[in-house]
Amino acid sequence: MSDEAFMERALALAERGRGLASPNPVVGAVVVAGGRIVGEGFHEGPGTPHAEAVALDRAGEGARGATLYTTLEPCDHFGRTPPCTRAIVEAGIARVVAATGDPNPIVDGRGFAALEAAGIELRRGVLADLAQRQLRAYTKHVRTGLPFATWKMAASLDGKVAARDGSSRWITGEAARLDVHRLRGAADAIVVGAGTALADDPSLTVRDPSYRGRPPLRVLVDARGRVPETGDLFDGSAPTLVATTELAPPHRREAWRSRGAELLLYEPEGARVPLARLFADLGKRDVQSVLIEGGPTLAWSAVEDGVVDTIVVYLAPKLIGGDAAPGILGGRGFFPIGGALPVSIVSVDRVGDDLRVEADVHRDR
């Protein structure tokens, strides 16, 4: 097998840490001797052994003279765990193949330098594009302090998110809904607006039998205190934070607190919560990835405030129509047409009977 094939295995292993590893990066590692895998592992979260250490431990004496494949540059510093570079050298690894460097300033290049200084053969950049996309939330947070935001929306083929009477369950099929739960499991926080909370009473929990991670933080954006404390967002099944403003009545704020929610109180911007400030505060809490599940109003605020990094739209094979039926994106919109926000289509896939379109937002970071 080629270096690329073994790195594909390491990348697949890294995904097993999704929902567990944050705020650390998801990392996978494979030890190969004589053309076969003798040890492999992935990082399960802060305080647990790094992927390289797990793979080396499972390889045992088989690691001597072998090749280690890792999706991220090994660390060369003491943190909650010892340096991976030391474990690699002591295990007798002869060659390291890495997908990408670690942008964290305490690692950035030092791990590679330590390996080369120890006489270990090093190859970098194998499947780098895939690894960097896998690590994009970690990378953005390390470089900017801000979370990586995915805006998710489900709509009919003509772009409607609900019928004119407000009904919206279910536009998409079961397979698409299951995929949404995978998106939730990959997020540190899920953000919803007051309109969606009132219309759907969502719990915003991960209902995926294979998910082993902790419940994502539920974030309700409600500037005026419209959402009662009796909804499923306050059922105690996951932590809840309410981002609100002084426009919310004091009795509502106290009711939210009485149900165990934490509050962030902002000065209103045009009678709404300033999302850029909210996302900055989430980043300070080590929230690396955010899933925005609000309706057209919250979606427009997120796009207008420049907090959206990527978009996932599920399109159902249905036509709804109606001038009064809401579309995917509300607000005042971009105009003229030359002022539209450009995006780059990353993938278009079938998910059951629906289409799943993923696109990256073009914006300088």
Q: Cα(215)–Cα(345) distance, rounded to whole angstroms? A: 30
Cβ atoms of 216 and 188 closer than 8 Å: yes
Locate 199 and state its tokens.
């219309």
Q: Which of 277, 239, 268 is nearest to 256 (CA)?
A: 239
Other beta carbons within 10 Å of 317: 11
- N- to C-terminal Cα distance for the chain? 38
Collapsed DSSP state (helix, strand, coil) of residue 209: coil
Contact 322, 163 (CB under 8 A): yes
Taking the CA atoms of the chain, what radius of gyration do you get in angstroms? 23
CA distances (Å), origin 22, targets 46, 192, 309? 7, 21, 18
CA–CA gap between residue 334 and residue 223 (Å, rounded)? 24
149, 308 contact by CB (below 8 A) = yes
- Among the listed residues 8, 40, 44, 52, the single catalytic one is 52
Three-state DSSP at 151 gives strand
**Two tokens at 310?**
């990527």
Please give the single-letter amino acid code of residue 199.
A
Catalytic site includes residue 15: no
Measure Cα distances from 216 to 8, 22, 80, 97, 283 in Å.
28, 11, 23, 33, 14
Catalytic residues: 52
